[in-house]
């Protein structure tokens, strides 16, 4: 069961946690982005404020004129009130999914490490709807959370999830926080896919502007001895969709242009077979194609390939060479993707369909003749090339 944040021991332990990794890699960029986007006179809601650490950072950096922090934990709010004596800071206890303020009150909302502690999609939807209600039409929502691609990877002060385990959307995930002088605080949160964040926000009336990885530029930033392949945090920035449409209608934006979206295609080969998924969404809904998906802003092609593959199939693989690129155009649904094919070699993992995959299975070329494959590009041709490249690599002298 997800950790109860209303427990005094959890509140005290989390407040004692030294969040210097989060400060360096996540909170500092957040403060800079908020100040740049909203200006120093912004009135900001810190939803899920805990003991007020982020609220204090915003005021200390003059990134807001006033911050209102709300949290479901009375103990957390008491700590915030004691530790944040600034007149511009106010703190209140709330019920989850409720903000005791009128519509259109806040110029910005920050929501740090909250969604991962929400146990159900319905509660996520309720929170998103409430944040949309209290945000001004031209305001900005900033979400900072654990990067699902870094699940199971140990960092100097924390680890989210167990190494080697594949998590499905909504799975419980054990978290270990190193508390200075006292040991380890064990928590349980939820593993939510990025697509779940986007879907919940879209349902609430938000348009997601970007999803940005937050990671170290050098290992010295966070005291690690080896390179960081998976940034530990992510930041989602969103605006109200109605505001964007109003701006267009008022002539503030003269045009909206759509461009093909780059996406990754993971061609995983194992024992003469390729891994395919049966797609849940358009294009090619209900048909078999390769796992893959959109490349997020700031994400490398190989990181996106590994992430999408794990999210959709539960398989972990080593990415190799790029060997093809194909257009996927679905004019009926206004979709155009450029799929970049990456040859991958299976490492570990049992097949578990997730994200936008209804099923996942291994197929030979002969097997593919008996299944409905995607119609927007030549799945079999990609499979033939991937199998041939894998054979050539196996035959090369060591």
**Residues labelled as active-site residues:** 359
Angle between helices 53-60 and 28-38 (to 10 degrees): 50
CA–CA distance, 161 with 150 (Å, rounded to integer): 9
CA–CA distance, 140 with 42 (Å, rounded to integer): 11
What CA–CA distances, in Å, run from 372 to 284, 355, 367?
Answer: 10, 20, 11
**H or E segment at 255?**
none
**Do the Cβ atoms of 79 and 51 come closer than 8 Å?**
yes
Q: Which residues of 99-136 are buried (b: 16+ CB within 10 A; e: fewer)?
A: bebeeebbbbbbbbbbbbbbbebeebbbbbebbbebbb
CA–CA distance, 90 with 103 (Å, rounded to integer): 18
Q: Which residues make Cβ contacts (< 8 Å) with residue 157, sequence separation at least 6?
A: 17, 18, 19, 20, 21, 177, 178
CA–CA distance, 385 with 398 (Å, rounded to integer): 22
Report angle CA 251, 254, 258 to the nearest 5 degrees: 135
- Listed residue (265, 269, 237) closest to 111, CA to CA: 237
Six token digits for residue 285: 């809904």
What CA–CA distances, in Å, run from 83 to 61, 86, 91, 101?
Answer: 16, 9, 11, 23
CA–CA distance, 49 with 72 (Å, rounded to integer): 9
CA–CA distance, 227 with 217 (Å, rounded to integer): 9
Q: What is the DSSP string of 131-151?
A: HHHHEEEEEEEEEEEE-GGGT
CA–CA distance, 166 with 246 (Å, rounded to integer): 42
Strands 171-179 and 158-160, by their bridges, are: antiparallel
């Amino acid at each position: 069961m997800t950790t109860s944040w209303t427990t005094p021991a959890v509140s005290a332990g989390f407040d004692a946690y030294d969040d210097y990794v989060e400060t360096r890699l996540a909170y500092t960029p957040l403060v800079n982005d908020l100040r740049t986007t909203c200006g120093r006179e912004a009135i900001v809601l810190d939803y899920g404020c805990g003991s007020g650490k982020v609220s204090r950072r915003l005021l200390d950096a003059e990134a807001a004129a006033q911050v209102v922090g709300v949290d479901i934990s009375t103990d957390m709010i008491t700590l915030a009130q004691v530790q944040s004596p600034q007149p511009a800071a106010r703190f209140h206890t709330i019920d989850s999914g409720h903000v005791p303020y009128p519509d259109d009150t806040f110029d910005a909302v920050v929501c740090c490490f909250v969604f991962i502690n929400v146990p159900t999609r319905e509660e996520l939807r309720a929170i998103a709807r409430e944040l949309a209600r209290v945000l001004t039409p031209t305001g900005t929502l900033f979400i900072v959370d654990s990067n699902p691609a870094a699940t199971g990877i140990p960092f100097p002060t924390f680890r989210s999830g167990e190494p080697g385990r594949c998590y499905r959307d909504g799975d419980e995930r054990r978290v270990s926080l190193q508390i200075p002088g006292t040991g380890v605080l064990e928590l349980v949160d939820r593993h939510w896919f990025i697509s779940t964040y986007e879907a919940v926000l879209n349902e609430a009336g938000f348009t997601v502007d970007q999803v940005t990885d937050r990671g170290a530029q050098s290992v010295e930033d966070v005291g690690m001895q080896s390179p960081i392949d998976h940034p530990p945090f992510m930041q989602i920035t969103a605006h109200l969709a109605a505001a964007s449409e109003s701006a267009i209608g008022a002539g503030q934006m003269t045009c909206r242009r759509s461009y093909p979206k780059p996406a990754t295609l993971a061609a995983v080969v194992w024992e003469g077979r390729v891994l395919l998924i049966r797609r849940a969404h358009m294009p090619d809904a209900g048909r078999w194609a390769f796992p893959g998906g959109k490349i997020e802003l700031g994400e490398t092609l190989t990181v996106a390939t590994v992430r999408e593959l794990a999210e959709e199939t539960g398989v972990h693989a080593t990415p190799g060479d790029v060997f093809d690129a194909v257009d996927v155009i679905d004019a009926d649904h206004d979709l155009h993707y450029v799929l970049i094919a990456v040859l991958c070699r299976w490492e570990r993992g049992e097949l578990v369909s997730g994200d936008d995959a209804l099923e996942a299975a291994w197929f030979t070329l002969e097997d593919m003749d008996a299944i409905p494959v995607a119609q927007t590009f030549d799945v079999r041709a990609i499979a033939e090339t991937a199998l041939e490249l894998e054979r050539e690599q196996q035959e090369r002298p060591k």
